[in-house]
Structure 1
Amino acid sequence: MFFAFLLISLSSCDLFKKIQDDDDTTVDTGDELEPIQGRRVYDPETGTWVVVEEAVTEKMDTIAWQEVPTTDDPPITSTGESPITGNQSNVIDVTDFGSQILNNYNISVVLPWLTDRFNAMDPNIYYNSLWAINYYNGTKMALEVLANEGLNATVSAMDSGASPSTTSGLIRGSEDLGNAHLIVGPYRRDNVALLAQYAQQREKVLVSPQSAASGISNLNPNYVQVNPTLETHSRAIIRHALENHDPRNIVLVSKDVANEVSRFNYFRDEYAIWNRGRPATPLNELLIPENEAASMERVNMAPLLQRSDTTVFIVPNWEETFVYALLRKIDVSRDPYSTVIVYGMPQWKDFEKIDFDYYEKLRVHISASVFVNSLDPKVKLFKEQYYDLYGAIPTEEAFVGYDVMLYFGRMLKKYGTKFQYALEGEEADALHTHFAFERVVRPGTTSGIETSQIEQFENKFVNILKFENYQFQKDN
């Protein structure tokens, strides 16, 4: 059983109270209404009407009722679907590539609300539900902007339960999902894969805002991935390094473990593209034996460190213990007057054990799919509006929820139900990143317009952040 979320008019405490189970008999309301009081009442034992002398017969107060339209404050249902506004969808026009321009679009937002984890007696919101709550808060703010811009949309919010079985249940039984022109979500890879297959079969567009996994769906032009994959991050890192440093001074570093060394292929391939097929000296590579990964006592860095130029280490690894040991080793091995730059992965931003003095001294750079510049006037305005609405400071996922809905809502309004084929011509700056979508084509095929050759659409922009003055700052 799924429960709808209407964050527009309900407080967070009331919103997430668990609905009583069907077998809860704490309060017995009975099957019939209580008899209305009056001087004459029906006596079921005699089958006749009787006069009740002590009945209340004084004039009753008059109550003025105000009818609230269901479009303004829709009822909570038990289907997991929460329509915000709605009109009949009629075709206004059809584009050259078969996209329908409609007077109203149906949008389904599928997020891990985890309603089954709530306890009615606990005033606190279940921690793992906060991502969905914050994300959807940003989504609602974008829907308000889109409505003012003229987009008519019926929006339904439903709970994936962070569960393949729950998501499969939505696919089988949700009428709103079946009528959707655009589906946004969910969070986990397995649930994304299920909805991607559904979107492919039913000719809908699925936008995945969170998953960065590759291979989610095969030959599926209806699947759009907002979060760049590991391959895209890797290519962005090596391009940034090549644009700023001599390739002869770049060193790829990894533990000598097959699946980790295989990540080098992304950097090698992009390096070959950089050289336009011309012969070039291969990038330096350092493989650290697994039994040395923790101490690195016998790892010799000296031959790799440049004395008169900058040495660049690229480390496609997100194991904190290994990264910490590596940074320590580089720091003690380098000449105090030499310059070293280390490129790492997005996870480095959230490390807790590493002394950030190493980040500062070694000029650490990382890739990131999300970067919110607090000095940006648009970001400041969003924070103010968000706080006015929700009484809280927006998290990163609130920015993502806002940006994703705003961008794709505008695409839907402008290009219709098959807007994904127009993505490549619609780059846009957002609060948390830049959108630059490209079609991902199966290796060995052409990049023509044939939809059968498209694996998916993916945002290819990656933020490169540098650690300077003890904080990450944008560097591209």
Structure 2
Amino acid sequence: MISVQNRLLLLSGNKWLLFFCAALILGACSPKVRPVSTSEKKQTENPENKAVENPPVKPAGVAVISMILPMGLDHIKPQPTYSSAGLTKANMSVEYYQGFKLALDSLAAGGASFKLQLYDSKDDASSAHSLAYNPQIRTSNLIVGPVFPDGIKIFTATMGNRVPILSPLSPASPATIKNNNLITVIPPLEYHARAAAQYIYDKINPQKIFILRSGFSQENDYVVNFKKTTDSLSKKKVKLISVVINRGQLNGLVSQLSKTERNVFVIPATDPVFLGVTLRSLDTLNRHFPVVLFGHPNWEKFSFLKADILQRLKTHITSSDKINYKQEATVTFLRNYRKAYHVEPTEYAIKGFDEGLYFGKQLFEENGIGGLDKTDFKGIHNSFHFVKKPGLGWVNAHVNILMYSNFELKQVE
């Protein structure tokens, strides 16, 4: 059970009371726990903590979950005020918390028992470092957060491998964090590249793939993993042609294109100017040579991209978020969330619900958190298929493939 039944109000710029309420709300089973301060005294670090890789411990009756979110509670004092960025982070935190707690409430109704402890990370390096010494956090069965990559790097470096640590919203590569008990639930970019390569090989099986690059170094992670996966699947029989395109000039590729077979293009770029010019040139090319295009996952968020061009180019993108609002699970969640909080759920609330439901249940499974790679899950916003990476923890490898059709993105795999 979870004994806390307090309702969180809709957050706006002047409704700072919500933050105060959220900071004090600690879901607990009997007996009640005292409110947790975010300024606990630092404990002496055991220098051996970082070297020890303890397996996750299954809770004995009550699962203790510590949630570390950037609430920014210092800004509710009379003098300080929230910046626009700080308010956005605080909104995100409350929305995620509400979704997560709603999931735990549903599990508690079925007999599970949780103690949910909420802490303010302040999106601050020193706070993340200090919280890693908090004895109530260190004895949790699961830690959720910090949210942003820099905070989780500092926190995990101090915490070591004591407790499973869920990175709830960041797709940052676990290779930048290096913690054997880290759980990366949002698939990093390399898994998008792998999924695109797998889909192209399975569904199209081309002889050539053209990779059009803008020349920016941030494209390297996608390109390297795409090439590696394609070479592995095809045993290097698929020819990969990687070129840097200037001012949309594609004439140099014409002699290598087919007028009858689908010509597969991959564009890992996100630069607006480059994309605008290159996609128009590719659209012109498409009049004479059939094109199938695969783009960066961030394209889903870009309003400057022209839907008509993307549709003519048969554009596919990978995504870790695809919500079917007609499915029964989604309809039920929306109804319960509105009833509990009297607002519409955001993407962060939906992610919080999915993660709370999966990890809350997993804590009481026979294999516990240690069995994530043995237990798949179909959520509202994405599915979870975890792989265990030595020294890097568990990584969700499930990525959706979407295609533009009838001027909207539809899931094809």
Q: 5+ unaligned residues in a row in structure 2: which ranges? A: 22-26, 40-54
Q: What code does the residue aligned with 1:171 have?
A: A
Task: Classify 1:184/1:101 alpha carbon distance in 2 versus 1 (closer, same or farther; 3 Å).
Answer: closer
How far did residue 18 of structure 1 move?
6.6
SS of structure 2 residue aligned to 1:415: coil
| Percent of aligned positions that are identical | 23
1:154 correspondence with 2:140: no
Match of 2:45 in 1: none
1:209 correspondence with 2:158: no
1:265 to 224, 239, 262: 224
Task: Classify 1:168/1:237 alpha carbon distance in 2 versus 1 (closer, same or farther; 3 Å).
Answer: same
1:439 correspondence with 2:376: no
TM-score by length of 1: 0.73
Task: Classify 1:440/1:299 alpha carbon distance in 2 versus 1 (closer, same or farther; 3 Å).
Answer: farther
Task: Classify 1:383/1:120 alpha carbon distance in 2 versus 1 (closer, same or farther; 3 Å).
Answer: farther
Q: 5+ unaligned residues in a row in structure 1: which ranges? A: 1-5, 20-68, 82-96, 442-453
Q: Distance in 1 between matches of 2:159 and 2:402?
A: 35
1:468 correspondence with 2:413: no
**Could you report, residue by residue, the CA deviation over 1:192-238 in whole angstroms, capped at 9, with x for unpaired residues?**
1123234434x1110111121122333x3211110111111110111
1:182 correspondence with 2:142: yes
Alignment length, in residue pairs? 382
1:408 correspondence with 2:354: no
SS of structure 2 residue aligned to 1:296: coil
Match of 1:307 in 2: 259
How far did residue 132 of structure 1 move?
0.9
Task: Check whether the contact 2:143–2:166 (CA below 8 A) recurs between aligned residues.
Answer: yes
1:102 correspondence with 2:60: yes
The residue correspondences of 1:271-286 to structure 2 (distance < 5 A) are 271-275=230-234, 278=235, 280-286=237-243
Match of 2:97 in 1: 136
Q: Distance in 2 between matches of 1:228 and 1:163?
A: 25
Task: Check whether the contact 1:249–1:310 (CA below 8 A) recurs between aligned residues.
Answer: no
Q: What code does the residue aligned with 1:282 have?
A: K
1:329 to 262, 265, 281: 281
Match of 1:447 in 2: none
SS of structure 2 residue aligned to 1:247: coil
Task: Classify 1:286/1:14 alpha carbon distance in 2 versus 1 (closer, same or farther; 3 Å).
Answer: closer
The residue correspondences of 1:14-413 to structure 2 (distance < 5 A) are 15-16=17-18, 77=35, 79-80=37-38, 99-118=57-76, 126-172=87-133, 174-201=134-161, 203-214=162-173, 215-218=175-178, 220-258=179-217, 260-261=219-220, 263-275=222-234, 278=235, 280-288=237-245, 292=246, 295-297=247-249, 300-335=252-287, 338-413=289-364
Q: Distance in 2 between matches of 1:362 and 1:212?
A: 28
Q: What code does the residue aligned with 1:16 have?
A: L
**Could you report, residue by residue, the CA deviation over 1:131-172 in whole angstroms, capped at 9, with x for unpaired residues?**
111111110110111212322111101111111122122223
How far did residue 421 of structure 1 move?
2.8
Q: Distance in 2 between matches of 1:99 and 1:390?
A: 33
SS of structure 1 residue aligned to 2:207: helix
How far did residue 359 of structure 1 move?
1.5
Task: Classify 1:313/1:436 alpha carbon distance in 2 versus 1 (closer, same or farther; 3 Å).
Answer: same
Task: Classify 1:100/1:257 alpha carbon distance in 2 versus 1 (closer, same or farther; 3 Å).
Answer: closer
* Structure with larger RCO (C-alpha < 8 A, sep 6+): 2
Q: What code does the residue aligned with 1:331 have?
A: D
Q: What code does the residue aligned with 1:425 have?
A: K
TM-score by length of 2: 0.83
Task: Classify 1:139/1:101 alpha carbon distance in 2 versus 1 (closer, same or farther; 3 Å).
Answer: closer
Structure index of larger Rg: 1
How far did residue 243 of structure 1 move?
1.2
Which structure shows the bigger proportion of residues in helix conformation? 2
**Could you report, residue by residue, the CA deviation over 1:300-350 in whole angstroms, capped at 9, with x for unpaired residues?**
4423443112111111222222222211110112226x5322111221111
Task: Check whether the contact 2:208–2:238 (CA below 8 A) recurs between aligned residues.
Answer: no
Match of 1:9 in 2: 7
How far did residue 99 of structure 1 move?
4.1
1:429 correspondence with 2:387: no
Task: Classify 1:279/1:472 alpha carbon distance in 2 versus 1 (closer, same or farther; 3 Å).
Answer: closer
SS of structure 2 residue aligned to 1:457: strand
